Amino acid sequence: MTDQDTLRRFIFEQAGVRGEWLKLTDSWQAVSDNHAYPPEVKEQLGHAVAAATMLAATIKFNGALVLQAQGEGPLKAVVAQCTHDRCIRGLARYREPVVAGDLSQLYGSGRLVLTIETERKQPYQGIVTLDGDNLAQALENYYQQSEQLPTRLWLFANETTVSGLFLQALPESSGFGSDWERIVMLADTISADELLDLSCEAVLHRLFHEETVRLFQPESIRFKCSCSNGKIERTLKSLGRIALEEILEERDAITVDCEFCNQQYRFDRVDVERLLIAETDLGTSKISH
Ligand SMILES: [Zn+2]
């Protein structure tokens, strides 16, 4: 099937509005199949994955955009990440029972944190209260507060598919308020079933056949976890020799599971000793600099 695991950007050139359409199937199943999430949790994770993917596509950067919704309610944390090369991963932490509801019922008093991690610079971080009926609304508030750019999102998720629609007024288009309102009104007629089932072209035709829309080339999205032996090693090193040796007194090896992909990393005594020696070397080279 075409149009699966795909993001399409589009633009209403005359109206000064940009948009994105998203559908994830295999990549979404790869994210969610790593855990036996209840349907309500899975839906929230799907919204977060869709949002992170679409937000990452709005910016030019080299790194990862991380969306984190955190609270004290039944849903404790939902994390979704999308890199500049369109690799996604995500996870949810919760305590049962999780009953469908608005954000305050799901998260209690929560907050939404958006982080853009790049290799060189300090990460950018934006935080907003987790208010509203759903994640889409919380993000609309975020854009209102942080960028003052009218933005709307439609996020839907089920067992097999995640889909999303994103609209944003371009900064230079402030004089065209009525265009923005008309386009949003048209988009608001989309149903969850339509957005989950239809192709991008079909959605754009269904909503905007009277508008002039320029549609860009499809971009592929895939699931790929960014965990690695090296990253786990750095975490272990930071714990220090005493802590690591204490763990090894009780067992043969230190095992670390990646929460995103369930990959297990195992470090026995020899591995840990190698790590700690490498740490010393690093220290020496620092001094000689
Ligand atoms: Zn992983």
Q: How many CB atoms lie within 10 A of CB 110?
A: 23
| Ligand 1 centroid, distance to 255 Cα (angstroms) | 13
| Ligand 1 centroid, distance to 254 Cα (angstroms) | 17
Length of the chain: 289
What is the model's pLDDT at position 227? Answer: 94
Selection from 261, 264, 275, 278 nearest residue 87 by Cα: 261
Whether residue 201 is predicted with pLDDT greater than 90 in this model: the reply is yes
The CA-based diameter of the chain, rounded to the nearest angstrom, is 71
| Ligand 1 centroid, distance to 122 Cα (angstroms) | 23
User: What's the mean pLDDT in 131-139?
Assistant: 95
Q: Are the beta carbons of 98 and 65 closer than 8 angstroms?
A: no
Look up the pTM and report it.
Answer: 0.90
Rounded to whole angstroms, the Cα distance separating 13 from 176 reads 12
Whether residue 288 is predicted with pLDDT greater than 70 in this model: the reply is no
Q: Mapped to the 3 state alphabet, what secondary structure does 222-273 carry?
A: EECCCCCHHHHHHHHHHHCHHHHHHHHHHCCEEEEECCCCCCEEEEEHHHHH
- 150-170 pLDDT, tens digit each: 999 999 999 999 999 999 999
User: What's the mean pLDDT in 135-141?
Assistant: 96
For each of the domains in the chain, give its residue range(s) and CATH number, in order of start. Answer: 6-223 (3.55.30.10), 229-288 (3.90.1280.10)
- 105-116 pLDDT, tens digit each: 999 999 999 999
Query: Which residues are in the CB-under-5-Å shell of ion ligand 1?
Result: 225, 227, 258, 260-261, 263
| Ligand 1 centroid, distance to 170 Cα (angstroms) | 36
| Ligand 1 centroid, distance to 127 Cα (angstroms) | 25
| Ligand 1 centroid, distance to 93 Cα (angstroms) | 16
What is the model's pLDDT at position 260? Answer: 94
Whether residue 141 is predicted with pLDDT greater than 70 in this model: the reply is yes
Selection from 219, 188, 220 nearest residue 206 by Cα: 188
Q: Return the DSSP state at 218.
A: P
| Ligand 1 centroid, distance to 244 Cα (angstroms) | 22
| Ligand 1 centroid, distance to 229 Cα (angstroms) | 10
Selection from 33-37, 86-90, 130-134 with the highest mean pLDDT? 86-90
| Ligand 1 centroid, distance to 164 Cα (angstroms) | 25
